[in-house]
Amino acid sequence: MPGTPLPIAVVQAGPRPIGADLGPFAADVGEHAATGARLVVYPELHLFGSETFPPPDRNAALRASAIGLDDPLVTELGGIARDAGVWLVPGTICERGPAGELFNTALCFAPDGRLAATYRKVFPWRPTEPYDPGDRFVVVDIDGTCVGIDVCYDAWFPEVTRHLAWMGAEIVLNLVKTTTPDREQEVVLARANAIVNQVFMVSVNCAGPIGRGRSIVVDPEGAVVASCAGDSEAVLRTDLDLDRVAAVRRHGTAGTNRMWAQFGPDDAPIPLPLYGGRIDPATWAPLRRSGGHHDVHG
């Protein structure tokens, strides 16, 4: 809501093994809730760690672990969110689709335990990951704030964050499990995606020794709000000033650039042959709601 900051806990932690007891995870969520966090966010595949298997067997283990959204695990995660009274993004799960697909799916639970949103990673890291690509982008209303969700490699495709911002996202959660040296570039991308879309970017990576860490929270002008310098387990606790998005879009990045106000009513559409579409000035601006915030469409 306008004028109300969103307290978040961004948890840089190592993945928990596939099938591990959720008791310690529930306790961890409760601890973050006790510090005042309203939204608690974990890295990609946080509850589906395959590292207990030999490397050649890990993709098979992920396939074997896949569940439907009606699985008791999903119900239990909703109960953890309800007991803690927080919005909970517990990372991603291996989801078995209706036609047997394997999706890397982010879950978002409301404080009442309801499964408020799911997002299937659109850009799996080919050829290494075993997942099928999702087919839609997702935003969710969290206490009156529009929040977009994407997963790891999605951040390398500028179309994803741009589309989430167009759908109304003021914050984009990028859930990451980067174990490779390109985390250096991903930190740059987090800042760049924030700048060119004038949104908060929250990029949460898993901790070492498995992940490269360096989780980061970036404001709508690209300034670093909070970050982890290395790969140790850590929690970034910060309050996101949601009025910053509206202010930056109104006055411009560095008081200068207003990308979402680029077009005039008489400008002709610009063909985009790569997508078989176009930029239409009539639909360029992000969707909005009363009070300067944005509509939620999923």
* 285 — pLDDT class (breaks 50, 70, 90): confident
Q: What is the pLDDT of residue 3?
A: 65
Q: Is 34 exposed, middle or buried (0-12, 13-18, 19+ CB in 10 A)?
A: exposed
Q: Report the pLDDT averaged over residues 47-51.
A: 97
pLDDT at residue 293 greater than cutoff 70: no
* 297 — pLDDT class (breaks 50, 70, 90): very low
Q: Are 289 and 282 in contact (CB under 8 A)?
A: no
* 19 — pLDDT class (breaks 50, 70, 90): very high
pLDDT at residue 295 greater than cutoff 60: no
- Upstream peptide bond of 127 is cis (omega within 30 degrees of 0): yes
pLDDT at residue 215 greater than cutoff 90: yes
pLDDT digits (tens, 9 = 90+) for 157-184: 999 999 999 999 999 999 999 999 999 9
Share of the chain above pLDDT 90, in %: 91
pLDDT at residue 291 greater than cutoff 50: no
Q: What is the pLDDT of residue 236?
A: 98
* 2 — pLDDT class (breaks 50, 70, 90): low
* 4 — pLDDT class (breaks 50, 70, 90): confident
What is the per-residue burial (b if ≥16 Cβ within 10 Å, else e) of 95-113? bbeeeeebbbbbbbbbbeb
Q: Sketch out the chain's domains with CATH numbers.
A: 6-292 (3.60.110.10)
Which comes out higher in pLDDT, residue 295 or 249?
249
Q: Which long-range contacts (CB under 8 A, 24 or more apart) does 132-140 make?
A: 132/97, 132/101, 132/102, 132/103, 134/103, 134/105, 136/298, 137/163, 137/164, 137/167, 137/298, 138/298, 139/164, 139/167, 139/168, 139/169, 139/296, 139/297, 139/298, 140/108, 140/116, 140/296, 140/298
